[in-house]
């Protein structure tokens, strides 16, 4: 984590100074500048390179010893087909080839954990960037976000134009169509990133609001999944810690501070509850005040029903006067309750 923070600080300093940008343009493309700033403002990510997508014409010498080449046209936005056709025609040179390309949006970023990378990868795939993927190198988690909206068409070989002007105009329209779809996908991705970062921030906030707990429930390992579901539904499962092995026959499930106080009482008094009856029937069921369970990665933590209810009511009541708001918040249920034929 310390290495990630150090690298992120260096990258952000370079972006602020406009230094060490190795792209031909030497700066971040305008269509993705807001997205780059958004990702770099989040604690789990830092961008390392990006391109918003481009329409280009590349001239390359031919022959066995030919090397290098030059860009005849480079635009990170749609182009007038007539303008593109004219630029390509003028770029034809003896002894060289000319290729028209459309290259889609691509972004590389470093993530502070595999969990953070997996969450961002899921968002990228859902927005149409099907060629995205994660790579872990030297303890660094790198994510590439990229799609498949490519086009590559040879228009001249050995200095001779292969196609008519009308065909070049058609290619220009095709490239513009791909650029429009490319920019639409970027917009969808940016909106989805906003939602992901908000969810991550809400979860961190929800975890911070909960009193620190070391309590756990030791249970027969054969019943662990059923018990986990039951605890989660009641808001008793502590999402900030992981389920762990207690001994060869039992598992330890993390309990919230609230559950550490309520569960022993409930086990002794609320025998009409099927879940509690199931717990009491397990001879190895025992609430332990302190268990050494590993901390759960932030991106794996799920808010309990009570946490979600608390967050949403806080947002709804933020305009209320303090005494009224405080009283309403005190009346929020902290576990599942019945009201007639309703379950709250």
Report d(CA 185, CA 124) in Å as an integer. Answer: 10
Residue 268 banded pLDDT, cuts 50, 70, 90:
confident
Q: Using the predicted structure, report yes or no on whether residue 320 has a pLDDT greater than 50.
A: no
Report d(CA 149, CA 151) in Å as an integer. Answer: 7
Across 74-78, 149-153, 237-241, 340-344, least confident range: 340-344
Tell me the average pLDDT across 242-258: 88
pLDDT of residue 100: 96
Strand partners, 339: 342
Strand partners, 137: 140
**76 and 122 in contact (C-beta within 8 Å)?**
no
Q: What is the pLDDT of residues 130-148, one digit of tens each?
A: 999 999 877 899 999 999 9
Find, among 2, 103, 91, the residue nearest to 51 by Cα. Answer: 103
Residue 318 banded pLDDT, cuts 50, 70, 90:
very low
**pTM, two decimal places:** 0.61
Find where tokens 């000319």 sit: 98
β 151-157/244-245 pair status: unpaired
pLDDT of residue 319: 44
Q: What is the DSSP letter of 134?
A: E
Find, among 99, 6, 27, 23, the residue nearest to 59 by Cα. Answer: 99
Q: Using the predicted structure, report yes or no on whether residue 105 has a pLDDT greater than 70.
A: yes
Burial of 151 (0-12, 13-18, 19+ CB in 10 A): middle
Find where tokens 């599942």 sit: 336
Q: Using the predicted structure, report yes or no on whether residue 315 has a pLDDT greater than 60.
A: no
Say which residues have a Cβ less than 8 Å from residue 167's Cβ, sequence separation at least 6. Answer: none
Report d(CA 305, CA 239) in Å as an integer. Answer: 11
Residue 107 banded pLDDT, cuts 50, 70, 90:
very high
Percent of the chain scored above 70 by pLDDT?
78
Q: What is the pLDDT of residues 20-30, one digit of tens each?
A: 776 767 789 99
Report d(CA 59, CA 162) in Å as an integer. Answer: 14
Strand order across the beta sheet in which 160-161 lies: 70-75, 54-61, 96-103, 151-157, 160-161
Report d(CA 168, CA 174) in Å as an integer. Answer: 10
In three-state secondary structure terms, 241 is strand
pLDDT of residue 18: 78
pLDDT of residue 182: 95
pLDDT of residue 335: 58
Structure tokens at 248: 């060869």
């Amino acid at each position: 984590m310390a290495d990630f923070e150090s690298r992120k600080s260096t990258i952000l300093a370079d972006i602020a100074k406009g230094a060490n940008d190795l792209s031909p343009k030497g700066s971040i493309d305008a269509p993705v500048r807001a997205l780059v700033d958004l990702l770099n403002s989040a604690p789990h990510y830092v961008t390392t390179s990006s391109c918003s997508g481009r329409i280009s014409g590349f001239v390359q010498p031919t022959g066995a010893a030919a090397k290098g080449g030059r860009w005849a046209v480079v635009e990170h936005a749609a182009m007038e087909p007539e303008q593109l056709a004219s630029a390509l025609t003028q770029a034809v040179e003896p002894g060289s080839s000319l290729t028209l390309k459309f290259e889609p949006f691509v972004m590389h970023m470093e993530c502070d954990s595999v969990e953070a990378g997996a969450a961002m990868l899921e968002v990228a795939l859902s927005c149409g960037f099907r060629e995205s993927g994660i790579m872990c190198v030297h303890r660094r988690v790198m994510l590439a976000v990229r799609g498949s909206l490519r086009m590559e068409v040879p228009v001249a070989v050995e200095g001779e134009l292969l196609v008519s002007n009308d065909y070049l105009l058609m290619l220009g329209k095709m490239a513009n169509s791909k650029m429009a779809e490319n920019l639409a996908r970027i917009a969808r991705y940016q909106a989805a990133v906003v939602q992901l970062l908000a969810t991550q921030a809400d979860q961190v906030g929800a975890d911070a609001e909960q009193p620190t707990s070391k309590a756990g429930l030791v249970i027969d390992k054969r019943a662990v999944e059923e018990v986990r579901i039951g605890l989660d539904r009641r808001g008793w499962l502590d999402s900030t810690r992981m389920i762990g092995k207690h001994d060869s026959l039992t598992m330890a499930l993390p309990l919230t501070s609230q559950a550490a106080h309520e569960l022993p009482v409930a086990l002794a008094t609320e025998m009409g509850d099927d879940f509690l009856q199931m717990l009491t029937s397990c001879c190895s069921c025992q609430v332990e005040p302190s268990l050494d369970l590993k901390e759960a990665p932030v991106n794996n933590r799920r808010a309990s029903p009570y946490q979600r209810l608390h967050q949403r009511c806080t947002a709804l009541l933020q305009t209320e006067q303090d005494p009224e708001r405080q009283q309403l918040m005190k009346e929020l249920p902290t576990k599942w309750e019945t009201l007639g034929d309703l379950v709250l």
